């Protein structure tokens, strides 16, 4: 079953890579738009279709979501917060906080998840992502 999904995804990505992209789209710095046809249109290099600014916007969102998620997960793990009403409130805090962060970074939840999947499955995107995380983390720390 897993092999079938990977094969289908590979075929879909292969089909998408054949599509031509206009030069103006390659220079776009806007946030990624989720595809309407259900096919992935994410590039293999971050600045070919997505744009460097949009890619760094995604990376910034990813960093912010990760930090926020870690904080809320620490609260969820706290033995004092094991009452059902507190757990429910913390889960809601996680959901709304994540949505707020994505809105601040001008990303939809679908686009964020699509880019996250792409980074985890594309070596070139992963390398660019890791570099951007390092670069943006140094900037945020003031280094």
At 76 the three-state DSSP class reads helix
Q: Which of 9, 10, 16, 82 is nearest to 43 (CA)?
A: 16
Cα 15 from chain centre? 22
Structural contact between residues 69 and 94, judged by C-beta atoms closer than 8 angstroms = yes
pLDDT at 46: 57
Cα 58 from chain centre? 6
pLDDT at 26: 38
Chunked mean pLDDT (size 10), the chain, 143 residues = 42 35 37 44 53 93 97 97 97 98 97 96 95 87 58
HEC readout, 20-45? CCCHHHHHCCCCCCCCCCCCCCCCCC
Helix (H), strand (E) at residue 63: helix 52-77
Structural contact between residues 133 and 63, judged by C-beta atoms closer than 8 angstroms = yes
pLDDT at 5: 44
| pTM tops 0.75 | no
């Amino acid at each position: 079953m897993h092999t079938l999904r990977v094969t289908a995804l590979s075929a879909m990505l292969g089909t998408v890579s054949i599509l031509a992209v206009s030069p103006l789209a390659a220079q776009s710095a806007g946030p990624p738009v989720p595809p309407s046809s259900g096919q992935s249109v994410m590039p293999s290099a971050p600045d070919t279709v997505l744009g460097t600014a949009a890619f760094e916007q995604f990376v910034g969102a990813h960093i912010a979501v990760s930090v926020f998620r870690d904080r809320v997960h620490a609260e969820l793990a706290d033995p004092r917060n094991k009452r059902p009403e507190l757990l429910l409130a913390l889960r809601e805090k996680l959901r709304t906080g994540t949505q707020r962060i994505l809105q601040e970074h001008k990303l939809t939840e679908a686009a964020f998840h699509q880019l996250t999947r792409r980074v985890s499955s594309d070596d070139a995107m992963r390398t660019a992502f890791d570099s951007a995380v390092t670069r943006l983390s140094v900037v945020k720390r003031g280094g």
